Amino acid sequence: MTARRFSVICVLLAGLGLGACDTAPQAALGALPAGMARIYVYRDAACYDGFEWTAVSLNGAVVGSSAPGAVFYRDVAPGTYRIEARSDQLYPEQAKTVAVAPGTTTFVKIQVQPFWGNSGRQWVHHTYVVAIVDPAIGQIQVGSLRLTPG
């Protein structure tokens, strides 16, 4: 497959994915319970990402699964959380640790490293990295994603 053909397919798939997105996931959210913090976990709809869901853990306990073009959230007690996404390959600093306070919102973006750890041209592994995103940017980025239960 040529690079041009691959690019055209990616653009078409991204367009199809955007057409199915809920444009306002916040409208479906309830109020943040008193004394709790909210963590959003999301992934862009990227053509090289495939359609694979990956498990997301807080302090080693799976709390949901991340899908391309989707967002889910968890309301958690204030504290420190190590956030990880299940990955087929290790990547430097792929997990992140955050401290959350009551009433705060944290945006966590799961990023795919599409060819990390693969030999040759065949794409056989998925490597995911956790990124903590500025709340102003995160709020914009999740606005066009579909809300899932995780």
Please write the tens of the pLDDT for every residue from 100-124: 999 999 999 998 876 555 555 555 5
The per-residue pLDDT for 52 is 81
Sequence ranges of the domains in the chain = 3-147
Tokens, residue 24 = 């306002």
Q: Looking at domain 3-147, which of 3.40.640.10, 3.40.50.300, 2.60.40.1120, 3.30.1060.10 is its CATH number?
A: 2.60.40.1120
Tokens, residue 103 = 């009433």
pLDDT digits (tens, 9 = 90+) for 35-93: 999 999 999 886 566 678 889 999 999 999 999 999 999 999 999 999 999 887 666 78
